[in-house]
């Protein structure tokens, strides 16, 4: 479904098949001592949220700027919230820390501005991972490139992230979605790495799932209005095959799964990660779960039931999860559910 692909035949041939049992070729994901996930961009910012032993919030003091209308001559700006997602992932193992960016938000400025307001230097990021090609996860690449220092910076994505897409809602004007440019990203200094298969990064401590097996009976993907260009016409694009997640194994705790939109389905993604790694416990699920709107609200009850059965220690639904799913997850998993917010850091350490 990419304009440079062989059309729908190739897309169908590459479509994930339902699978069961242990992985034939399991991924040897190395356990880590600690992972920190800093949400640089999310749909929400709440300065009144409080920190605890594993959650550090960006409060009113973030981002002080000059403001002559106040007697002190300055005022805090807080964090930018927008319809997008970006997270800075820091992995620690054996005294060594490494960092990567997972998605970059909607606008060119939000991610880099929020990082600056938090005093976070993005110059030591070792790689960028795109969960999929939708513009609300890739818009911040322009801001990152504009700051310089991205020469030969690896960027891992699925080859279908270049797919031209549009929203064709009946009775409304057709809206073509911005499409990533391979040429432009290469010219800005990113070293693009395309992978359908799982990838191990940061010395084997981070897994990028690649295409996710669709094994549930209720996660059917995008409605008919979401379409992709095949090279000869527009077709329904329900699967968003380029959707992938980031996975870390925290020693003695289990898997930490980070999603962008979760177009593959939150439960599909978690089950895929557990099967790929052979780890039998989900410790945390963070990121967008795409359960917002009439097309996805029927998926909320079975999703909540399946996640409740998995009994994670932390659930931070963000971005496109939607308020109905947030309420349902908070009610079903009161000890695990945490409100997401731009500028929040989640620290998950080994047992």
Q: Look at residue 2 in the predicted model and tell me its pLDDT.
A: 37
Residue 332 clears pLDDT 50, i.e. is over it:
yes
Q: Look at residue 148 in the predicted model and tell me its pLDDT.
A: 72
Tell me how far apart the alpha carbons of residues 269 and 240 are, in angstroms, rounded to a whole number.
13
Q: Look at residue 146 in the predicted model and tell me its pLDDT.
A: 84
Q: Look at residue 150 in the predicted model and tell me its pLDDT.
A: 80
Q: Look at residue 75 in the predicted model and tell me its pLDDT.
A: 93
Q: Each residue of 83-95: pLDDT tens digit? A: 999 999 999 999 9
Taking each helix axis from N to C terminus, what angle separates 300-310 and 266-277, rounded to the nearest 10 degrees? 30
Residue 6 clears pLDDT 50, i.e. is over it:
no
Q: pLDDT above 70 covers what percent of the chain?
A: 93
Instruction: Band the pLDDT of 25: cuts 50, 70, 90.
Output: low
Q: Look at residue 147 in the predicted model and tell me its pLDDT.
A: 79
Phi, psi of 81 (to 5 degrees): -115, 140
Q: Are 255 and 274 in contact (CB under 8 A)?
A: yes
Closest by CA position to 12, among listed 236, 266, 201: 236
Q: Look at residue 161 in the predicted model and tell me its pLDDT.
A: 98
Q: Across all residues in the chain, what is the average pLDDT?
A: 93
Stretch 49-56: mean pLDDT, rounded?
96
Tell me how far apart the alpha carbons of residues 86 and 103 are, in angstroms, rounded to a whole number.
5
Q: Each residue of 149-187: pLDDT tens digit? A: 788 899 999 999 999 999 999 999 999 999 999 999 999
Q: Look at residue 63 in the predicted model and tell me its pLDDT.
A: 85
Tell me how far apart the alpha carbons of residues 106 and 134 are, in angstroms, rounded to a whole number.
9
Give me the count of residues in the chain: 351
Q: Look at residue 52 in the predicted model and tell me its pLDDT.
A: 95
Stretch 307-333: mean pLDDT, rounded?
98
Q: Each residue of 233-260: pLDDT tens digit? A: 999 999 999 999 999 999 999 999 999 9
Q: Each residue of 119-133: pLDDT tens digit? A: 999 999 999 999 999
Instruction: Band the pLDDT of 20: cuts 50, 70, 90.
Output: low
Residue 18 clears pLDDT 70, i.e. is over it:
no
Q: Which residue has the higher pLDDT, 236 or 61?
A: 236
Q: Look at residue 335 in the predicted model and tell me its pLDDT.
A: 97
Closest by CA position to 317, among listed 7, 115, 43, 18: 43
Handedness of CA 274, 278, 280, 284 (dihedral sign): negative
Residue 11 clears pLDDT 50, i.e. is over it:
no
Residue 8 clears pLDDT 50, i.e. is over it:
no
Closest by CA position to 49, among listed 326, 325, 340: 340
Q: Look at residue 17 in the predicted model and tell me its pLDDT.
A: 47
Q: What is the 3-state secondary structure (H, E, C) of the chain?
A: CCCCCCCHHHHHHCCCCCCCCCCCCCCCCCCECEEEEEEEECCCCCCCCCCCCCEECCCCCCCEEECCCCCCCEEECCCCCCCCCEEEEEEEECCEEEEEEECCCCCCCHHHHHHHHCCCCHHHCCCEECCCCCHHHCCCHHHHHHCCCCCCEEEEECHHHHCCEEECCCCCCCEECCCCCHHHHHHCCEEEEECCCCEEECCCCEEECCCCCCCCCCCCCCCCCEEEECCCCEEECCCCCCCCCEEEEECCCEEEEEECCCCCCHHHHHHHHHHHHCCCCEEEEEEECCCCCCCCHHHHHHHHHHHHHHCCCEEEEECCCCHHHHHHHHHHCCCCECCCCCCEEEEEECC
Q: Each residue of 180-211: pLDDT tens digit? A: 999 999 999 999 999 999 999 999 999 999 99
Q: Look at residue 26 in the predicted model and tell me its pLDDT.
A: 82
Q: Look at residue 284 in the predicted model and tell me its pLDDT.
A: 98
């Amino acid at each position: 479904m990419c304009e440079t692909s062989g059309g729908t035949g190739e897309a169908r041939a590459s479509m994930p098949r339902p699978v069961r049992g242990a992985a034939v070729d399991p991924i040897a994901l190395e356990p880590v001592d600690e992972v920190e996930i800093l949400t640089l961009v999310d749909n929400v910012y709440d300065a009144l949220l409080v920190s605890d032993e594993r959650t550090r919030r960006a409060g009113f003091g973030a981002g002080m700027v000059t403001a002559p209308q106040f007697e002190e001559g300055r005022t805090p700006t807080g964090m930018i919230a927008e319809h997008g997602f970006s997270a800075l992932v820091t992995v620690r193992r054996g005294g060594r820390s490494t960092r990567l960016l997972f998605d970059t938000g909607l606008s060119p400025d939000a991610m880099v501005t929020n990082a600056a307001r938090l005093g976070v230097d993005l110059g030591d990021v070792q790689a960028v991972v795109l969960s999929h090609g939708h513009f609300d996860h890739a818009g911040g690449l322009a801001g990152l490139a504009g700051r310089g220092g991205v020469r030969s910076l690896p960027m891992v994505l699925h080859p279908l992230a270049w797919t031209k897409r549009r929203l064709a809602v009946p009775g409304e004007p057709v809206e073509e979605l911005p499409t990533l440019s391979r040429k432009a990203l290469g010219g800005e200094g990113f070293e693009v790495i395309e992978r359908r298969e799982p990838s191990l990064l940061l010395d084997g401590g981070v897994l990028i799932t690649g295409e996710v097996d669709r094994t549930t009976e209720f996660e059917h993907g995008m409605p008919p209005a979401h379409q992709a260009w095949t090279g000869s016409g527009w077709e329904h694009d329900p699967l968003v095959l380029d959707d992938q997640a980031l996975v870390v194994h925290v020693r003695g705790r289990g898997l930490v799964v980070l999603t962008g939109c979760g177009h593959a389905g939150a439960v599909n993604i978690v089950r895929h990660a557990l099967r790929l790694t052979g780890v039998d416990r989900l410790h945390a699920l963070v990121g967008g779960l795409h359960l917002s709107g009439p097309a996805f609200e029927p998926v909320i009850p079975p999703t909540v039931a399946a996640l409740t059965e998995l009994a994670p220690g932390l659930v931070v639904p963000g971005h496109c999860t939607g308020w109905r799913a947030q309420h349902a997850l908070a009610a079903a998993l009161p000890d695990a559910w945490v409100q997401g917010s731009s500028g929040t850091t989640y620290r998950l350490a080994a047992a």
